[in-house]
Amino acid sequence: MDYGKFKYESAMKAREARRNQAHTIIKEIKLRPKIDPHDYETKKGHVVRFLKAGDKVKVTIMFRGREQSRPELGFRLLQRLAEDVTELGFVESQPKQDGRNMIMVIGPHKKKAEAKAEKAAARATRDDDSVDSVADAVAAEE
């Protein structure tokens, strides 16, 4: 067997493996203990979007001033967020106080590659539907 050909094929296999590899990305959301309900819903929507994309989410609650004497407020907020997104992700690390911040990491149930494949499949069906509707419109004009 030709050594150059073998070396080329092994390099191509390694390149293909790297292309299909999913990189774990940790997205971060920062909250405050006295967050408004609408702002909470907005931040929760971001967390849901990140988990659907297959990314981990690091949720940080920042305490300032007197808020530092009430860490249970932040703990309750993190527990509520974990319950709200339980169908998309699970708590990877429980809430921990780290100086002025309280941190919790939520991991997705789906892997990044599965989320990408699902998104591509949805895009393909949507494109097929739009092509069909254009064909129907052209046929209606004739």
Q: How many CB atoms lie within 10 A of CB 140?
A: 7
Measured CA to CA, the distance from residue 63 to residue 65 in angstroms comes to 7
Alpha-carbon separation of residue 104 from 42, 46, 57, 87 (angstroms) = 18, 15, 8, 17
Measured CA to CA, the distance from residue 51 to residue 47 in angstroms comes to 6
Rg (CA), the chain: 23
Q: Is residue 56 part of a domain?
A: yes
Task: Kindly give the confidence (pLDDT) of every residue in the chain, 142 residues in length, as a single tens digit, with 9 standing for 90 and above.
Answer: 789 999 999 999 999 888 877 677 899 999 999 999 999 999 999 999 999 988 999 999 999 999 999 999 999 999 999 999 999 999 998 999 989 999 999 999 877 777 777 888 888 888 777 766 666 666 677 6
Residues of the domain holding 54 = 22-109
Give the domain CATH number at 80: 3.30.110.10
Number of separate domains in the chain: 2
Whether the pTM exceeds 0.85: the reply is: no
Q: Is residue 142 part of a domain?
A: yes
101 with 117, same domain: the answer is no
The model's pLDDT over 101-117, given as tens digits with 9 standing for 90+, comes to: 999 999 998 777 777 77
68 with 104, same domain: the answer is yes
pLDDT for the residue 131: 65
